[in-house]
């Protein structure tokens, strides 16, 4: 899941202030917490109220997309409503916002969300934690399915650093030491030999900006 949080309402109102006909577009894809049609409607009501407090009248339309980062799906979903909009407010992650902005370059598109990371929710209502930094060279097969790039505070590819105490990280003792977790997982799987594998410095070019499919 892509973890996002809402921008403060005042910031969103500042962004859309010069425009009147705003199309609010949700996304039913991987954004967490969900930001679909229901959330788009709620946001339109809040913005309407916020606008009134600023003596500004907006006309909102709301819709949602199956997967806002899909150019074809998003173009065909939004085309009918676009002719009436003077600006778009997207509830998707940064990729979704940029997708709409690329399809309709003549219309200003604004983010209603801040995008944080690719993560997981350990249990419903619990905290959302980063699990993948899209490094482009996945090591999970060698580390028992635990990502050292995101879960080790120092991002060590050859851990542990030696500072771990009672399974906790020396930098943040509320956090489990990722390499301790990796050790325990590999031990459980009878694969401790993998800890002897040296992993060279990461090639950051692999997390590049374009992949040909």
Instruction: State the residues that interact with ligand SF4 by CB under 6 A.
Output: 132-135, 138-140, 147, 149-150, 152-154, 156, 159-161, 163-164, 169-171, 177-179
Q: Which is nearer to ligand SF4, 54 or 165 (CB)?
A: 165
Nearest approach, Cβ of residue 137 and ligand SF4 (Å): 6
Nearest approach, Cβ of residue 110 and ligand SF4 (Å): 29
Nearest approach, Cβ of residue 151 and ligand SF4 (Å): 7
Strand 128-132 relative to strand 59-65, pairing: unpaired
Nearest approach, Cβ of residue 202 and ligand SF4 (Å): 9
Q: Which is nearer to ligand SF4, 15 or 139 (CB)?
A: 139
SS3 120: strand
Q: Which is nearer to ligand SF4, 121 or 170 (CB)?
A: 170
| Buried/exposed code over 94-124 (b: 16+ C-beta within 10 A; e: otherwise) | ebbbbbbbebbeebbbbbbbebebbbeeeee
Q: Where in 7-124 does DSSP place strands (E)?
A: 21-27, 31-32, 59-65, 87-90, 109-111, 113-121
What is the rounded distance in angstroms from the CA atom of residue 132 to the CA atom of residue 148? Answer: 9
Q: Which is nearer to ligand SF4, 71 or 171 (CB)?
A: 171
């Amino acid at each position: 899941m892509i973890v996002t949080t809402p921008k403060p309402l005042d910031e969103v109102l500042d962004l859309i202030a010069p425009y009147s006909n705003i199309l609010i577009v949700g996304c039913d894809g991987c954004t967490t917490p969900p930001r679909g049609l229901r959330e788009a409607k709620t946001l339109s009501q809040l913005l309407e109220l916020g606008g009134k407090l600023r003596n500004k009248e907006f006309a909102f339309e709301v819709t949602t997309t199956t997967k806002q980062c899909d150019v074809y799906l998003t173009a065909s979903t939004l085309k009918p409503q676009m002719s009436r909009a003077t600006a778009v407010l997207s509830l998707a992650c940064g990729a979704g916002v940029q997708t709409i902005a690329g399809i309709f370059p003549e219309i200003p598109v604004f983010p209603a969300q801040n995008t944080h990371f690719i993560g997981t929710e350990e249990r419903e209502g619990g905290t959302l934690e980063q699990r993948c930094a899209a490094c482009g060279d996945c090591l999970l097969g060698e580390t028992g399915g635990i990502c050292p790039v995101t879960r080790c505070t120092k991002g060590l590819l050859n851990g542990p650093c030696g500072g771990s105490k009672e399974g906790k990280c020396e930098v943040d003792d509320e956090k489990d030491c990722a390499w301790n977790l990796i050790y325990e997982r590999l031990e459980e799987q009878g694969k401790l030999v993998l800890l002897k594998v040296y992993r060279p410095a990461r090639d950051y070019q692999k997390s590049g900006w374009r992949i040909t499919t």
